[in-house]
Structure 1
Amino acid sequence: MTSKVNISCGSCGYEDISKNAKKWCTICEEGFCGECEKYHKSMKITRDHKMISIEDYRQIENISVNLYCEIHGKKLDLYCKKHEIAACVVCIPSEHKSCSSSDVISIDDASKNAKQSSSLLDLEGTISTTIDNVKFCIKDREMALKIVNEDEQTIRKTITDTRKNLNKYLDELERKMLLDLKSKHENCKSKFVKILNQLKQMEKEVEKLKEQTLQMKRFASDLQVFLGTRQLNQALCKKIGSLKEDIRDSTNYNMEIEVNHVISSLVNEVKQFGKIKVMETMANLQLKDAKIDQAQIQVHGLSHNIHNISLQLKQKFDIKGSESPLSDCIVLPDDRIIIADFIGSGKIMECNNDGQHIRDIPVSDKPYSLTLVGTDCIAVTYPSSKYLEIINTKNTSERKRVNCSSLCWGIYYQDQKLYVIVLQQGIVVMDLNGKTLNIIDIDVLYVYHITTTSDRIYYTNYNSNTVHCCSMTGQEIWVFKDQSIFSLGGISVDHNQNVFVVDETSNSLIVIQHDGKDSKVLLTDRDGLASPCAVSYNKQKKIICLGYKKGVVALYQVS
């Protein structure tokens, strides 16, 4: 609930003048009356500050975003890209001695476009998924309660029908049996009611988080959104943990009665009308995975251990008509697989997840690299023709061509932008209309594959056999090289920013730790790999799609 107390003008209050504020500055975090607002806007240093109405401020007034260091009490005005954590001026010399000057940037730079970040989208998606999970659990528990109530009614009828055939002597036995039934039914019912109350309370809390996130997205500053996203992620993670804890031991109860079969003939010997039994079975509630970006909630950086990563083969199939290694392949949200065959047939093929060919998507030249754009669209590069296309996979006549200045190779879509490797230019960043937004000046002479996260770019260099990680401005964060790697091909990144690459010569799939300091070979030729070129990691399904020799596609579940 928003506060009804008037917000005072901070500037007037400094002069011991009491005056109600008309606007709120999200940067200064202070209210301003009409006159002070004009003065605030007239100053060059505060001219660009975002001002919102007091009514809008009340929508985010109760959203708790900690802007100060919990250890030192200083304002969080810096951000370490290496550890992915906000810091104050005291944190840097004490906790980040090994971090280079390029690793530490201002919090203002780090929080730019926070409202369009994948982290905020992930938070909104996680909230939505969690609400769905809570609703699902409530519905399941309500159904279980309905069943046990029906069981109770069935038993009650059985007791009543049986009693009609008995004489007056059985009245006392009936009374005892009904008391026993009532006791056990109430016990079962109370357990269902308890978990239902907990789930409904959690639903309200997650709905509140959803509302806070929406209001924060609409009215808060980028800084507040940036930090609030992480803090709300933490709160949501705790609630998800609490939800899993609440339902982990959830039990279904079914009641039935065993009526003594000799009760009619052995009236004098029967001491008990029957027996109420409660059978317990595990509820086995299957929750939808909530996509939480763990990189955003780690206190000391990313924590996933690459040596715990394992792969399980789900499916392997051949693409008919292709005798060469496939150049790229991606898995769509509806499990369709799109495959680019640059070296062989020169086609884009669409298959289902069992490998059955659905169709060939019409192309105007040999396609090289693919990336998913939204839900149903893909972007594909045609190096020889020096252009790329955005194609609707549901209606392939809907397509948009974007010309490039030279050969265009790898492509990746992130946060409404396309990142394209263009020879003699570098990494060209463009919007979906083809407008160039930025050119990242790096040597791309032997660079054919690229992928990105919300704040990093990754690519492989075929000549030097190195894997590069750089910032969105092209500043190098780390470079990975190993003597056992001979000819690097495709590259992809998981939700922990661990990097998957394929080596065409050593016939291997390798995962590189998010900081570039460690690696692990996941698959080799002993697993059937031969000249692997394409690798794609689906973050929602945690599936790796590999394309290699003679048109072979393999899907692996990552755990």
Structure 2
Amino acid sequence: MASAAHICGICDLRHVNKPSITWCTECDEGFCSGCEEHHSLAKATRHHKTIPIANYQKLPTDVLEISQSCPKHDEKLILYCKNHEIPCCGKCAMEGHKRCNEVINLDDIVKNAKTSTSFQEIEERLTEVVDNIKEIQKEYRGNITTLSENRKQIEKQIKEIRFKIDSHLNEIQKKLIDEIQEVEETEIKKVRQLVEKLEEKEINLTKYQSSISNIKHHASDFQAFMSIKQKEQDLSREEEFTQSCLEGDKVNTRVITYNIAGSIDTFIKNVQRFGEIGVEIKPTKAAIQRRKKKQAQIVIPKIQTKNFENITARLQLKIKTTSKNVRGCCILPDGRMAFTCYDTGRLILIKADGSKDFEIKLASVVDVSKGTTEKTVIVSSNSENGLSVIDIQDMKILKFIPVKSGCFGIVERNGHAIFCTKSELKILNLQTESINTITTANLSAFPYVDTNDKHIYFTTLFNPSITCCDFQGVIKWAIKNTTVFGGLLGVATNKDGFVFVLSRNSIVLISPCGKQSKTIVTSDNGLKTAQALHYDKTRDMLLVANKMEDAFLYKVDLQ
């Protein structure tokens, strides 16, 4: 701004403090009522457009700070350089834009700014973003209600499970108590029968005692002699019965016993929770507006591709993989390299110096990616239909996540695994294990995938193509050129969006816009049936592996 908006610029120069009532956008100055009248009558300024100062002050701060004067020469900006996309004054044009062939009048380029397609596009996009935010807010407010409903539903399920458990325990408890009572009655009956028999025996033996006493005192010796043998026989029978009631010298008694069922004991020891509580992220049916058809109207800034032709790859290391069919590879954060051997079902780790570290036996592994921690990797499996998280420190499988179809290319991003089946590009939350489909376009057998956090890039082997899409599955560009590409396998990208693909034993570099391509590594450099490719975005290192035996590590120079 040339002057403070609330003070008349002309009066201020005369050291008179008067409030401004209008603002001239061309003079970039405010005027009081008297100066405004003079400004509107003067020949040089009578056609200038003025606005009420109140309206001017409604403009955003960043717009108010835009000056119409050159900050270097303090002259009015009158020209616009299309080559550099900046306004300039006459001196700037002479000093810094002599070689520019598109320096035009600033008035010519700004006069239709408010009615231009770009301005209209901004208005439409802003309206769309506001509408989308309102829709998202609506969904999230609804989510607050659904979370409460989720809790109530889960609590209801827990109570139902508890009721079922209680009912089942009450039922088996009743059965057991009934069984105990039945056993008790049966055993008491048996013992009573024995007691009755013993009482009968006791009466008989008491009679024998009385009989023996009478014989002893009143019978003759002959009578006593003749009765002894019979009494001995009777007494032997009674002793045999008495002995049958003994175990050694002890009387046998009946005791009801109880052994707790093993499953009950296991239940008490092992079941510590009713279940696990988790949070699953699910897409809603919110009516979010997407700008697909209108995207072609947006003015896209020019992508600086002057470095494209200068990008090269220098060989740093040749590695022996000892593999017969490498399908995937990656460079780990500690510098080690991981390779998957499809035929022998092995995950092979190679040290940074090229020497072998160790290997793990796995079934039909296809691709490998770094994991969520430095000690884990994730591998995809075709025949096993799933992904495995491997602990490369303890050399064991931490968990297997099943998928409904065979898995091929895979890359980890912010706790998610982006992976390909032969018909879908999917994303997996490694914590909740929820899976969502990104797109089904341009997919076929043996696809590979990589991402730079802005876009996702994937290739297909048959009907070879390389596709770039965003994380909502909107295709940004796709190349289906069989004359340039053949048998596309590995794909990798750097953080700037330059894409590397394996094609016909060569590494082809593709520009971020998908319109330029060139070969940076050829079969002359040792590539022979190359099938796996990985780009280390922190070190700018490119790892490529042949189907058998050899792999190569390149340093990519981004000049």
TM-score (norm 2): 0.46
Larger radius of gyration: 2
TM-score (norm 1): 0.46
The one of the two structures with greater contact order (alpha-carbon pairs below 8 A, sep at least 6) is 1
